[in-house]
Structure 1
Amino acid sequence: MTGQPYAEVIGDPIAQSKSPLIHGFWLEKLGIEARYDRCLVTVDGLADYLAARRADPDWRGCNVTMPHKLAIMPLMDRLDPLAARIGAVNTVVREADGTLVGYNTDAPGFLEPLRERLAETHLFRMARILGTGGAARAIVAALADKGFVIVLAGRDPAKAKAMLDELTTQQDHHAIDLAHFAHPTDFAFDDRERLFDVIVNASPLGMTGQPPLAFDFSHAPPNSMVYDIVTSPRDTAFLQEAREAGFPTVDGLAMLIGQADHAFRHFFGATPPRDGDSDAQLRARLEA
């Protein structure tokens, strides 16, 4: 006989994770007898953690956050094709026979709040992505698949170029130094009608306890959508400055909830409640 099914989120640090609130809310709404925890796992303890959980029939899997998204890949028995392509795993699922399968739900989770705009026909799509970590890999792959020309900015442009070469097939993407965006520009943007521009902070800059993100909005084409994946604080200085400059914004909770939706289906075999009222209640809980 087994006990209560459970999943969890792992990382180091992990106390700040909002994932237990999200999954707990959905389990409660659906009346599912299961739980979702958080677990501190160090780099040195990652292999032992997976070995122990693999032997636990109640464990449905885990979400994976910093610093394990790349390190956990060789410890999987199988990789979902999208995770293999991105080169990062943020969701591990234990199958009934103990097989561990690695998925990446960051990519579809990131795209979720952009669905309406992506359903439109555009003459051209361009994304300026700031950061070259594990989350950026998923975002680059997701936007490249949606026809975006990518400008990837990092502290090491060579690393950014290598990431573009690895994750995209087109040759018209660009890798630049992150510092390029810190200073004003007098570049005259052309008519952006029927174009879709996205500016994404995919770095930890601006997160609580991290240095601020230096970005001058003279680099943002008119009508750009500004997206920050940072969740603490929810309303970052980057988003505040974007709104003051007249740009529509998307906060990090949108991606966090979107990727959790896909993970929840894997863990608990159910569709989370995502109607407007439920999402509003969930956001209120996360922002409390």
Structure 2
Amino acid sequence: MTKNTEIKLFGLLGKNISYSFSRGYFKDKFKQLGLDNFKYLNFDLNEIKDFKDVLENNPNIKGLNITIPYKEEIFPFLDKIDATAKKIGAVNTIKFTKRGNLKGFNTDAFGFENSLLPLLKSNHKKAVILGTGGASKAIAFVLKKNNIKFKFVSRNPTKKKEISYSDINKELLLETHLIVNCTPLGTSPNVELCPKLPYQYLSKNHLLYDLIYNPEVTTFLSKGKEKGATIKNGLEMLQLQAEESWRIWNS
């Protein structure tokens, strides 16, 4: 790389993101493509207001990914928001346009949908989404798009489509065959943790999808597998959403 070659910077914006999938993924991608002047950094912020400092100190940023807990808090900092991201209510990708504008997109929905569809069967008509954060909004968007009825499960339900964990019983699980975990429970190193569910009522009819990818098989997925359920972790979703982000940055 010559000294005159401009560094093109990309990165991940979030909080406590040392575990980041994105940084390793894009570092390998840049290496494979021979893009020696491309770099991907983690911007670990205590508060979203610090985003202004990131922009001032890094004028060569070309694109960003956004993760927990800023997928919703980032909205006021954006000049434009893609129609899909606006419908979802969460942004996980920012493109820096040639005019200097920041445009928000959501590629989580793309990643989730394309990794989920091959697994869906005729009985997957109802779902529960564990958690109510930014990622859960993309999941809900995809389920609605594919005519799958769903309810959010929250520790403190306050909205119409929200239920509590204590509401998940045998009767509900007999007719609800898709369970998507959007909580961080079970992420390494706390691998023994899992959402509080009556796992004994799961069966081969169930599909358990965990957005977590580390470990490969979480306790949540393991308990489902024991009952014959189909299981899927979040790695393919992450890979797909990362590639979609890359496409957006370069389009």
TM range (shorter): 0.7 to 0.9
Whether the 8 Å contact between 2:182 and 2:210 is mirrored in structure 1 is yes
Whether the 8 Å contact between 1:23 and 1:264 is mirrored in structure 2 is no
Whether the 8 Å contact between 1:5 and 1:35 is mirrored in structure 2 is yes
Paired residues in the alignment total: 244
- Indicate the residue corresponding to 1:262 in structure 2: 244
Q: Unaligned regions of 5+ residues in structure 1, if any?
A: 165-174, 191-195, 270-288
- Indicate the residue corresponding to 2:188 in structure 1: 208
Higher relative contact order (CA 8 A, sep 6+): 1
Cα drift, residue 42 of structure 1: 2.4
1:47 pairs, out of 17, 37, 52, with 52
In 1, the alpha carbon distance for the partners of 2:179 and 2:42 equals: 31
1:1-288 paired onto structure 2 within 5 Å? 3-33=6-36, 34-43=38-47, 44-53=49-58, 56=59, 58-117=60-119, 122=122, 125-159=125-159, 161=160, 164=161, 175-181=162-168, 185=170, 189=174, 197-208=177-188, 211-220=193-202, 222-269=204-251
Cα drift, residue 212 of structure 1: 3.0
Cα drift, residue 232 of structure 1: 3.0
Moved more, 146-155 or 22-31: 22-31
In 2, the alpha carbon distance for the partners of 1:260 and 1:246 equals: 31
TM-score w.r.t. the length of structure 1 is 0.76
Q: Unaligned regions of 5+ residues in structure 2, if any?
A: none
Cα drift, residue 68 of structure 1: 1.1
- Indicate the residue corresponding to 1:285 in structure 2: none
TM-score w.r.t. the length of structure 2 is 0.87
In 2, the alpha carbon distance for the partners of 1:187 and 1:229 equals: 22
- Closer, same or farther: CA 186–92 of 1 in aligned 2, 3 Å: closer
Cα drift, residue 156 of structure 1: 2.2
Listed one character per residue, the Cα deviations across residues 88-113 of structure 1 (whole Å, up to 9, x for unaligned) are: 11111101121100111111111121
Aligned to 2:13, the other structure's residue is in SS state strand
Listed one character per residue, the Cα deviations across residues 139-168 of structure 1 (whole Å, up to 9, x for unaligned) are: 111111111011221112224x2xx5xxxx
Cα drift, residue 30 of structure 1: 2.6
In 2, the alpha carbon distance for the partners of 1:5 and 1:224 equals: 45
Aligned to 2:87, the other structure's residue is in SS state helix
- Closer, same or farther: CA 228–268 of 1 in aligned 2, 3 Å: same
In 2, the alpha carbon distance for the partners of 1:47 and 1:267 equals: 20
